[in-house]
Amino acid sequence: MIELKEIPVTQESSVFNQISENQHEQVVFCHDHETGLKAIIGVHNTVLGPALGGTRMWTYASEAEALRDVLRLSRGMTFKSAISGLNLGGGKAVIIGDSKKDKTEAMMRKFGRFVNNLNGKYITAEDMGMTTQDMAYIGMETKYVAGLPESQGGSGDPSPVTAYGTYMGMKAAAKRAWGNDSLAGKKISVQGTGHVGGYLIDYLVKENAQLFITDIDQDHLKRISANTGATVVGLDEIYDVDADIYSPCAMGATINDDTLSRLKCQIIAGCANNQLQDENVHGPALVDRGIIYAPDFLINAGGIINVYSEVKKLNREWAMQQTEQIYNTTLNIFNKAEADETHPQRAATQLAQKRIDDMAKIKQTY
Ligand code: NAD
């Protein structure tokens, strides 16, 4: 049984200590002198199936920071796939470098060869700093790549599916809070109006919610406001909006010691990853404040469900139906959290871990 509480990785931890702390199965360091490739592939857990997760290219301040990121992200993928009922494990890869300056076709293809060497134990996909073209280059060297554009036989942009799941999770939270899942007339503040946020706003507009939106991209913001009638608020002002629901759809860790006392909402439900700065502190703190938190990795799983549909040769319709289940799972999590006297993020992690443990047992016999 894996200890559920995430153990903070300290600067002093040795590489092997870091790998063993959250029980990663395998970590592969990939280096190529010719292309300048420096990448780390993290395979956290493959009990349920191959480890699937995107590759992120980022200007990490240090190699230690890159290692921490890949370990944290790959672990997160394990729980996301497990709670979504997918037969996938958790993995992730990071490439150290500036995606605008350092990336070349050769580097991407060399990385594809490293992925291929794992023989399907890790399947990669697109993440920050990577483009469709990069995935196409990787795909020239390995078949273990998913999330390709529809024109290349892939499942295409996952954002509409992610938005649908987030919407389902938000409605489940509304049902929990108000006994009715209608969002009509509810004041909802949306932080980030990008791919997922944009599609989510479409669903909310259809339900006649009253929207407050913010984004660093002012042109984007003005366009969405003009089309939907949403009220534009400042980047920091979003935390002070007198909203019923706060929906973080940009960056992580926006629920922290600074913002907690400012949030007036009854529900938090958004698509951003790792919304709680420290889940062991801010998860219980939200319960104390009477705020219902829809677990991020549960309600933003539409994207991985969509990628899974590609891996298993299923279609978008299947992905949307599977994503709709997020509504029921979210309600179950709220009930479980209450019964177990814990917070929803922890209840969701426990449920995901239970599925992994159960499946590990059935695999013990042939
Ligand atoms: P995106 O880049 O299309 O959109 C993010 C938006 O947030 C952009 O418009 C950006 O300008 C804005 N933003 C950045 N910093 C901001 C700030 N400080 N304040 C307000 N707005 C800010 O990304 P996306 O694909 O819509 O993903 C949004 C979030 O959801 C990310 O955290 C991502 O990791 C997560 N997520 C996305 C998917 C998916 O299918 N795309 C799946 C799971 C999780």
The candidate with the shortest Cα–Cα distance to 286, out of 297, 272, 275, is: 275
- pLDDT at residue number 366: 72
Over residues 217-235, mean pLDDT: 95
Q: Is 252 exposed, middle or buried (0-12, 13-18, 19+ CB in 10 A)?
A: middle
Say which DSSP state 143 is in.
Answer: S
Are 144 and 122 in contact by the 8 Å Cβ rule? The answer is yes
- Under the banding of pLDDT at 50, 70 and 90, the label for residue 159 is very high
What's the pTM value of the predicted model, to 2 decimals? 0.92
- pLDDT at residue number 11: 55
Is the confidence at residue 10, as pLDDT, over 80? no
Pocket of ligand 1 (CB under 6 A): 158-159, 162, 191-197, 214-217, 220, 235, 249-251, 271-273, 300, 303
State phi, psi for 124 to the nearest 5 degrees: -100, 170
pLDDT above 90 covers a percentage of the chain that reads: 88
Q: Report whether CATH 3.40.50.10860 matches the domain 15-157.
A: yes
Rounded Cα gap, residues 24 and 41, in angstroms = 11
Q: Provide the residue type at 210 as one letter.
A: Q
The candidate with the shortest Cα–Cα distance to 10, out of 67, 70, 55, is: 67
Mutate-to-test residue for ligand 1 from 86, 162, 320, highest number of ligand atoms within 8 A of CB? 162
Rounded Cα gap, residues 64 and 67, in angstroms = 5
Q: Pairing between strand 37-45 and 89-96? A: antiparallel
- Under the banding of pLDDT at 50, 70 and 90, the label for residue 128 is confident
User: Lowest-confidence range among 36-40, 108-112, 209-213, 313-317?
Assistant: 313-317
193 is in an annotated binding site: yes
Q: Looking at the domain that runs over 160-301, which CATH code has it been given?
A: 3.40.50.720
265-303 in b/e burial notation, b at 16+ Cβ within 10 A? bbbbbbbbbbbbbebeebbebbbeeebbbbbbbbbbbbb
Q: Are the folds of 15-157 and 160-301 the same?
A: yes
- Under the banding of pLDDT at 50, 70 and 90, the label for residue 1 is very low
Position in ligand 1 atom list of the atom nearest CA 235: 19
Structure tokens at 184: 């009509």
The domain spans of the chain are 15-157, 160-301
DSSP string, 254-309: -BSHHHHTT---SEE----SS-BSSHHHHHHHHHHTT-EE--HHHHTTHHHHHHHH
Rounded Cα gap, residues 365 and 142, in angstroms = 32
DSSP string, 64-110: HHHHHHHHHHHHHHHHHHHHTT-S-EEEEEEEES-TTTT--HHHHHH
- Under the banding of pLDDT at 50, 70 and 90, the label for residue 149 is confident
The candidate with the shortest Cα–Cα distance to 166, out of 301, 365, 26, 319, is: 301
Q: Which one from 38, 80, 92, 187 is the annotated catalytic residue? A: 92
Rounded Cα gap, residues 268 and 291, in angstroms = 7
Q: Clarify whether 336 is annotated catalytic.
A: no
